[in-house]
Amino acid sequence: MAGVAASVERVKDRATGLDKFVLREARGSSVEVYLYGGQVTFWKNNFGHQLLFVSNKATFKPPKAIRGGIQICFPQLGSHGVLEQHGFARNRFWSVDESPPPFPVATSNCHIDLILKSSQEDLKIWPHSYEFRLRVALSPRGDLLLTSRIKNISSDGKPFQFTFAYHTYFSVSDISEVRVEGLETLDYLDNLQSKNRCTEQGDAVVFESEVDKVYLSAPKKIVIIDHEKKRTLVLRKEGLPDIVVWNPWDKKAKAMPDFGDDEYKNMLCVGAAAIEKPISLKSGEEWLGKQEISAVPSSYSSGQLDPEVIRRMHTI
């Protein structure tokens, strides 16, 4: 629709009764972000493809996180001590950030700013005062950019540490036809082997069984190639050294009440994270972590992306 401007609309989702923001760009791409969890659950590109996975059995109410989309895992990934698994940020209602401080990085005008602050309840389990500002931005080309700014606002001058992940559930046509490039030869922590440190082989990562890994010091850009859909998802990151990769496969899928038995075939979690080396903030310090995801058409053949796609990826 020529001339239709970008828009940001707050609506109450009919199915869940929860408030969400719908971001629309002129060329047809759109994103949906729930105040619950500050969670992106829907990302459609200019071709109308839904690029994120949300389980048909997802629950949209506390205390369970929405199973899918992009979960904000803070102040931890994993389960240690009294904090819930993957921290509390994905299980809390965020607010609209009415007066975000100037943004240090360029983002598109089609965006929403949310904020989560330490609550009295949460201070009991994580005694640190913080402000977490999340900007979700949709570019005119349909790229999705999440920028997190976390500030230590403690008055006692104490530093704090946290681990973090954009736990991103991508929709794929058939997990056995998916390759991830950019993780070759990296060290990783294998959650299926008591977080043992291992080294990835020299080839692209493929999927034939449950995978639950944290790749360490990964490149700024990795790609997920969905052979059947002839689609390449490009993930770019800043301020986040690691990459989590997870597919529950059949056994774990059956054990999750908010996940369909066969849904593992059509999803793959790949997300930018900071896990091996927790982020430490002194009082008054602010950290920024970005994840940008784009979808480009790809005619994937003989193990190599075609030159045209590589050229276009470099222009993203």
Which positions make up the binding site? 67, 85, 90
Per CB under 6 A, does 191 bind ligand TA6? yes
Residue with tokens 């629709």: 1
Question: Which span (8-16, 21-29, 78-86, 145-153) binds ligand TA6, by CB under 6 A?
Answer: 78-86
Q: 116 or 244: whose CB is closer to ligand TA6?
A: 244
Per CB under 6 A, does 86 bind ligand TA6? yes
Smallest distance from the beta carbon of 188 to ligand TA6, in angstroms?
Answer: 12
Smallest distance from the beta carbon of 240 to ligand TA6, in angstroms?
Answer: 14
d(CA 88, CA 206): 31
Footprint of ligand TA6 on 132-171 (CB under 6 A): 167
Footprint of ligand TA6 on 256-285 (CB under 6 A): 269
Smallest distance from the beta carbon of 118 to ligand TA6, in angstroms?
Answer: 22
Smallest distance from the beta carbon of 13 to ligand TA6, in angstroms?
Answer: 21
Residues within the annotated binding site for substrate? 67, 85, 90
Q: Which of 31, 145, 186, 244 binds ligand TA6 (CB under 6 A)?
A: 244
d(CA 89, CA 92): 5
Binding residues for ligand TA6, per CB under 6 A?
65, 78, 85-86, 167, 191, 212, 244, 246, 269
